[in-house]
Amino acid sequence: MGDAGFLENLFHGRLRKDQFFMDYDAVDEGKVQALVSRLHEVTSNYSQAQLESEGRVPEPVMLGLKKIGLFGITVPTEYGGLGFTLSEYLRVIESISGDDMALCLIPLAHLSIGMNAILLFANEQQKAKYLPRAATGEMVFGYALTEPSIGSDVQSLSTTALLSEDGTHYLLNGSKTYITNGNYAQGLTVFAQTDPDNSGKGLGAFIVETALEGVSISKDMPTMGLKMSSTTAIQFKDVRVPVEQRLGEAGDGFKIAMTVLNYGRLGLGAASSGIMLQSLADMYAHASGRVQFDNPIKEFELIQEKIVRAKVHAFAARNMTFFTAKALEADPLAKVAIEGSHCKLYGTTRAWDTLYDALQTAGGLGFLSTQPYEKRMRDFRATTIFEGTSEIHSMYPPLVLLRGYAKECGGNALAALRFARKLRRARVLDGLVIEHKELHKAKALACRLEKAIRRQLARGMIRYGKRASAHEFYLRRVTRLSLAMFQLVAACSFLHAKADRGGLNKEDRAMLAYLVAEASEVYKHERHFGPDRLEKAHQQVYASIDG
């Protein structure tokens, strides 16, 4: 496994300055926009309504997508791919998500999660066999993790892959559901228990070709949106999977699954900023032309508020996504679970709010199906469910840290008490020296947020111990504090690099001031440890419902 990411390092007392001071100017924007332009040429003869009504990507469009290399963006050139960096790939996703999220999802699911386990964990023979076909789109990949009764609890999967007596193959049995690209896929990354008696410890990852006997893919599920994509259930009945198709060791499945999901979450972060930027453009254009009470509605503060939110939240989501991408470019197996979780939660929830604001700004026009607003909302809605629900990601970062702390303490109560005291007293961000004065206020607030998070984690260790997962309001408070800190850290990292290149402009300073104001409100309201009055009232009301 790779090095710890910036946030994990931070909350284990380590400051990795190289993970903060980074070069954001390395993206070949010309290469990115050339590919986006070729994509627009491929789809130019089809309206979004036509594509959606067909419920599937038309064959000429699919062939065009394969021809321009869309399915091989991140595949190295030696395997026939385009060889884009992760940041360049995310810029492509950002650029096309605002056009059509349903179309964007097919290569996103293929590249970010479907075949990414091969890119990251396969041996040379496996890479030589599958990456060239994945790059051309000859083999589109899906990611088969979720099961009918198992979603976020990955270690409890019931699908099994049992090694044959002669050791030549695994016998795969079980079912998966909500699998993106199901009926487009010729290959799957499948996760299954290789040792059912040792649940979670023997989770394996396998490359499974859909043409194998015993693989059964359902018809596309009827969905609210993303009509062009393919979401299916998949059954495996006595599927003989050669041992050569296993990725890594038999027990590496959980590590592989979690690492790959980090990339998927960044893809959703990039798609979120793309949707917000497109919605921003639509809102501003409509508000400039729509006149009420003798004034364009862009002159009204409540409309301006929506436009500003879209601008700033797209900026923040983008900063966090590319900050994390840079860590993965330096170390593709870097442990960025916390950053990835924050990117996914922040991006998808803020983008959903922005889509609401865009439709609201359009007024009655926004409610018409001939306009893009309702399709965007339908298509985007699933992103708050994909790859961990918003509820899971509202608890996940502090749980990752608390479980890591418990492991370090080895279950010893005295060791935990000493660790908690040390955790509470540490001040790691104080050691980050930022030269540019425009960033000092944001950095100072980030330091205060770090202090508040440390206090919360230390108290949680002692008060809750192993029971922390049952205290979801507490975990959400820590996540909100951490997310506020991370958006400031990522913004400062990006703006510091920009200032080094020639200085910040008025817009940069204004957006940073907005983020500081938002984070200040979080700091003010989320520092308390125990339940607040609203949470106590919640408990009383729910008791009356559930009584």
Q: Indicate which residues carry an active-site annotation.
A: 387
DSSP 8-state secondary structure symbol assigned to residue 45:
T
* Helix 301-330 / helix 337-362 crossing angle, nearest 10 deg: 150
Residue type present at position 429: L
- Reference 362, options 272, 285, 276; nearest CA is 285
> Going along 4-54, which residue ranges are E strands?
none
Residue 215, classed as helix, strand or coil, is strand
Question: Strand, coil or helix: what is 234?
Answer: strand
Rounded to the nearest 10°, the torsion over CA 63, 64, 68, 74 is -60
Task: Kindly state the tokens that stand for 453.
Answer: 């998070």
- List, in order, residues 6 or more apart from 119 with CB less than 8 Å away: 74, 75, 127, 131
Q: Is 3 exposed, middle or buried (0-12, 13-18, 19+ CB in 10 A)?
A: middle
Q: With H, G, I as helix, E, B as strand and everything else as coil, classify residue 538.
A: helix
Place of tokens 């931070």: 10
List the structure tokens of 178: 């909500």
Q: What 3-state DSSP class applies to 180?
A: strand
Six-digit token string for 466: 């192993």
Give CA–CA dist 450/424, Å, rounded.
10
DSSP secondary structure letter of residue 164: P
